[in-house]
């Protein structure tokens, strides 16, 4: 368990080994060390894209240099097209955070402050699951704590409806709160985008709106797939990335 390291730089290799009990692949190290995260990640299935991006965000938010930590969004929003993928990703995320000693055990109405072993101002990282039919206690009241670091993992219907200020399965009086939190100070990761259908172009148009209107804090999006064609992201306001620096591949 890593303790008290939020204000000290920690190598990604040591961090990754502590979280997963194995060394990172070269592409996972390259992704974490990018000066600026890419817009598209094109990596073959089964090589660890999920591990790469979630652990890169945790490291950059909590254990990298001061400038990188300050520039890394407070919330990681991991959007998936299928329920089973949400459950698997949430389970892995909780395991990694527990291994690092920075997981918030809180759920429901209370998210308690963590022990001194938790990095960054004495608090752990929240993991909340947003998925249809999920018990509200399990989903947690993450939106009552906008100052807390959080990993929000959910299906595209639940996440995109909230980003559009029309959140499914929640009181309409709380729509504006989650609308604001999902469009500011956050990193959107859209995984398995070949299965998202119309939701894919919605994610691109939302990113175009955020860039045009501006946000509070760093806010950006990453699309991931082993079969992604950048042209799928084109909308009336969003041009797909063409610069090789914005498209991350296994050997680039």
Listing DSSP states for 67-120 in one string gives: HHHHHS-SEEEEEESSHHHHHHHHHHHHHHHHHHT-B---BTTB-----TTSHH
The Cα–Cα gap between 3 and 247 comes to: 34
**Phi, psi dihedrals of residue 188, rounded to the nearest 5°:** -85, 130
Length of the chain: 252
pLDDT computed for residue 118 by the predictor: 40
pLDDT at 135: 58
In Å, how far are 4, 131, 185 from 207, measured between CA atoms?
Answer: 35, 22, 13
**How far apart (Å, rounded) are the C-alpha atoms in residues 199 and 121?**
36
Could you give phi then psi for residue 18, rounded to 5 degrees?
-65, -40
Other CB atoms within 10 Å distance of the CB of residue 141? 17
State which residues of the chain have pLDDT below 50: 4-7, 107-122
Radius of gyration, CA atoms only, the chain: 17
CB 220 within 8 A of CB 72: no
């Amino acid at each position: 368990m890593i303790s008290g390291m939020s204000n000290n730089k920690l190598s990604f290799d040591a961090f990754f080994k502590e979280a997963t009990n194995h060394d990172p692949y070269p592409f996972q190290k390259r992704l974490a060390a990018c000066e600026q995260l890419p817009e598209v990640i094109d990596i073959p299935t089964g090589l660890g894209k999920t591990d790469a991006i979630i652990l890169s965000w945790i490291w950059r938010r909590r254990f990298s240099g001061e400038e990188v930590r300050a520039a890394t969004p407070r919330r990681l929003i991991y959007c998936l097209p299928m329920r089973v993928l949400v459950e698997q990703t949430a389970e892995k995320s909780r395991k990694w955070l527990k291994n690092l000693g920075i997981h918030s055990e809180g759920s429901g109405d209370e998210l308690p402050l963590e022990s001194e072993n938790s990095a960054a101002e004495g608090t752990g990282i929240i993991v909340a699951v947003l998925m249809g039919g999920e018990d509200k206690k399990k989903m947690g009241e993450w939106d009552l704590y906008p100052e807390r670091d959080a990993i929000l993992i959910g299906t595209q219907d639940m996440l995109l409806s909230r980003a559009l200020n029309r959140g499914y399965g929640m009181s309409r009086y709380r729509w504006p709160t989650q609308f604001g939190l999902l469009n500011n100070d956050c990193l959107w990761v859209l995984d398995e985008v070949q299965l998202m259908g119309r939701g894919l172009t919605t994610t691109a148009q939302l990113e175009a709106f955020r860039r045009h209107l501006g946000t509070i804090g760093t806010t950006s999006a990453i699309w991931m797939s082993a079969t992604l064609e950048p042209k799928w992201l084109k909308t009336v306001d969003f041009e797909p990335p063409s610069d090789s620096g914005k498209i991350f591949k296994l050997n680039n």
